[in-house]
């Protein structure tokens, strides 16, 4: 995976790449801009995105896209549209039994790969569990771990017991899919949170419901052995459920306005 340099047959000499990345510099002897391929490129692709002539050469880092509105994303969707879409996002805890087709699942995962990560590390791995009995094994193991802590037991034991009378996989509300994002790095929960948010919003646009699952995240943090059930090994973990919602929302709930320090 690498940025290879510049296609000079396409290059118009606009010098935009010089402002996109310090690894591009003007070579006086050759009288042209060159790319320092031995530099510490983190493959962010900013040079590719900013080149108006599509003259940056690269390989094995995915596909760059150009489409109507790329220069003015505010024209793709207005603030009012985005705001309503965000307000409509809810935590779904009641799902239909129908599984999501693979082509739809792939769209959600593709959206997740577009999320930014610190230093463009992109160390995260994606895992999906869709077999009911595999989810059950994880469900029971997480339940056992969570209730082994007195403070958690006091808060959730009655809730878990109640849910177990309604759902088979009660910690996941019988969602047909449990999705896990993990990373071998410690302390990158912010990256994982952004990735999952991309996934949840993409899922909503596809008519799906989702919900964060902090119970599993906490259990895996306290007992790394639980990660073996999900066949993951990452130090940082994020989990959410997904499926077709079996409920409707008729309004977005109220949210208390926040005082913004520094904003008059």
User: Rounded to whole angstroms, how far apart are CA atoms 76 and 54?
Assistant: 22
Residue 153: predicted pLDDT: 96
Tell me how far apart the terminal alpha carbons of the chain are, to the nearest angstrom.
48
Closest CA to 213 of 249, 258, 186, 177: 177
Q: What is the pTM of this model?
A: 0.93
- Position 264 scores a pLDDT of 78
pLDDT at 190: 96
pLDDT digits 0-9 by tens, 244-255: 999 999 999 999
Give all strands of the β-sheet with 209-212 in edge-to-edge order.
Answer: 125-129, 177-183, 236-243, 209-212
Query: What stretches of the chain adopt beta strand conformation (E)?
Result: 2-6, 24-27, 32-35, 56-59, 125-129, 177-183, 209-212, 236-243
What is residue 169's predicted lDDT score, i.e. its pLDDT? 98
Q: What is the pLDDT of residue 28?
A: 86
pLDDT at 38: 81
Domains of the chain plus CATH, in order, are 2-59 (3.30.70.20), 90-243 (3.40.109.10)
Low-confidence ranges of the chain (pLDDT < 50): none
3-state secondary structure 122-154: CCCEEEEECCHHHHHHHHHHHHHHHHCCHHHHH
Those residues with Cβ within 8 angstroms of residue 171's Cβ, 6 or more apart along the chain or in another chain: 139, 142, 143, 160, 163, 213, 215, 216
3-state secondary structure of 254: coil
Q: Encode 11-49: b = buried (16+ Cβ within 10 Å), e = exposed.
A: beeeebbeebbebbeeeeeeeebbbeeeeebebbbebbe
Q: What is the structure's pLDDT at 1? A: 72
Residues 235 and 185 sit within 8 Å (Cβ to Cβ):
yes
Question: Among positive and negative, which fits the CA dihedral 46, 52, 58, 60?
Answer: positive
């Amino acid at each position: 995976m690498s940025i290879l340099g510049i296609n000079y047959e396409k290059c118009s000499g606009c010098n935009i790449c010089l402002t996109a990345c310090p690894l591009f510099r003007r070579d006086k002897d050759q009288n042209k801009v060159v790319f320092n391929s031995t530099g510490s490129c983190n493959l962010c692709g900013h040079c590719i995105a900013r080149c108006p002539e599509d003259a940056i050469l690269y390989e094995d880092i995915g596909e760059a896209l150009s489409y109507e509105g790329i220069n003015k994303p505010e024209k793709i969707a207005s603030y009012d549209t985005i705001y309503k879409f965000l307000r409509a996002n809810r935590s779904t805890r009641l799902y239909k039994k129908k599984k999501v087709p693979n082509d739809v699942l792939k769209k959600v995962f593709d959206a997740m790969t577009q999320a930014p990560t610190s230093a463009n590390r992109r160390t995260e791995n994606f895992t999906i569990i869709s077999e009911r009995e595999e989810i059950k094994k994880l469900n029971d193991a997480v339940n056992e771990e969570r209730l082994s802590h007195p403070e958690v037991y006091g808060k959730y034991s009655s809730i878990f017991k109640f849910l177990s009378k309604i759902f088979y996989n009660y910690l996941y509300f019988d969602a047909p899919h449990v999705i896990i994002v993990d990373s071998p790095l410690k302390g990158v929960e912010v990256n994982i949170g952004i990735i999952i948010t991309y996934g949840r919003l993409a899922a909503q646009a596809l008519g799906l419901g989702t919900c964060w699952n902090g119970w599993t995240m906490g259990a895996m943090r306290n007992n790394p052995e639980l990660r073996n059930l999900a066949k993951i090994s990452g130090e940082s973990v994020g989990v959410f459920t997904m499926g077709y919602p079996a409920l409707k929302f008729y309004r977005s709930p109220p949210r208390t306005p926040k005082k913004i320090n520094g904003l008059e």
